Structures are given as structure tokens and as C-alpha cells.
Amino acid sequence: AGNTTLTMIKPGAVRRNLIGPILGMITEHGFKVEALKLTKLSARQAAKFYEVHRGKPFYDGLVNYMSSGPIVAAIIRKDNAVAEFRELIGNTDPEKASEGTIRKLFAESLSHNAVHGSDSDENAAKEAAFFFSETERFCPEEWH
Ligand code: CMP
């Protein structure tokens, strides 16, 4: 398994001032930050990021929401990162998420679910490249 995944703190969570608590949970669970930025997606960029969901009933709403305000994007590193991070964030639907998970604690709803996490190593690599160039990545083993 790969050792990095891509996360976004979504616009609603940034708006509710949850950047610190969410990054705190991520680092407390042993993830190292390899790249980090506060940025905003245009509707076109959000449409591209989520193009695997194009055609689904929630797609337009998802694109609209994800381009509605600033987000935090990060590449985070830990052994078996994709699976470990999906466990930490919990079910996509916060009503189904386990106690203590980021979505259980911070998500408002299925569509406003606080954070994104890559669902495979292949998508993690694509999503990391979507947000970050090589010079914006700092391997924790080398620098932390
Ligand atoms: P995320 O991990 O960012 O990946 C796609 C997002 O689409 C997902 O989190 C949810 O926020 C959203 N999503 C998935 N399924 C639905 C749905 N049935 N209705 C509304 N939003 C959804």
C-alpha cells in the first residue's frame, strides 16, 4: 500500500473555523504533513477534481459546494495512508460514522461532510498532483 493520501478540509468546515481541530486530529493520529495550502477551487476545477462522480444526482451540488469558499488541501503521510485515513474520517455519511471519527465530530451532513479523503492509492496520486507541484512537497522523512 502507498504511504500518502490527499485530504481537503471542505468549505463549511473552514467557515466554521475547524481547520485547527481537524489538522490536530490528523497529526495526533500519526500523519505527517507533506504539503499544505489554503486555496479556493473554481467551479471548473471542482468539476474536474470530482469528475469520477459526473452524472450522479449529487454532482452539481457537490461542485457548487466545493467551489463556494476556501478549502485546505493537504498531502499527509503514514503507513497505509489511504485506509488509515478513511478509518479516521469515518463513513461518508456522518450519521453512519463511528464515534470519535472526524466526520462524526465535525460533519454537518452527507454533502457537507467536513473532509475529503482519497479512496485509493491511484486517486491519491492523481489528487496530490491536482493540488501540488513537486516543489510544494516536503517529504517528512527528510525534513521533520
Ligand atoms: P467526498 O469524500 O468528498 O467524495 C464525494 C462527495 O460527494 C462525498 O464526500 C460526499 O460529500 C458527496 N456525496 C456522496 N454521496 C452523496 C449523496 N448521495 N448525496 C449528496 N452528496 C453525496
Q: How far is CA 41 from CA 81, 90, 93, 109, in A?
A: 24, 24, 23, 21
ipTM over 0.85: yes
- b or e along 35-67 (b: 16 or more beta carbons within 10 Å of the residue's beta carbon)? bbeeeebeeebbbebbeeeeeeeeeeebbebbb
| pLDDT by residue, tens only, the chain of 144 residues | 789 999 999 999 999 999 999 999 999 999 999 999 999 999 999 999 999 999 999 999 999 999 999 999 999 999 999 999 999 999 999 999 999 999 999 999 999 999 999 999 999 999 999 999 999 999 888 877
Identity of the amino acid at 63: V
Residue nearest to atom 17 of ligand 1 (CA): 58
Q: Which element (helix H / strand E) includes 27?
A: helix 19-28
In the chain the domains, ranked by start, together with CATH numbers, are 4-143 (3.30.70.141)
Rounded CA-CA distance 122/60 in Å is 24
- Longest Cα–Cα distance of the chain, Å, equals 44
Q: 29 catalytic, yes or no?
A: no
Q: Which of 9, 53, 58, 68 to mutate to test the pocket of ligand 1 (most atoms within 8 A of CB)?
A: 58
Our answer on whether the CB atom of 5 is closer than 6 Å to any ligand 1 atom is no
Tell me the whole-structure pTM to 2 decimals. Answer: 0.97
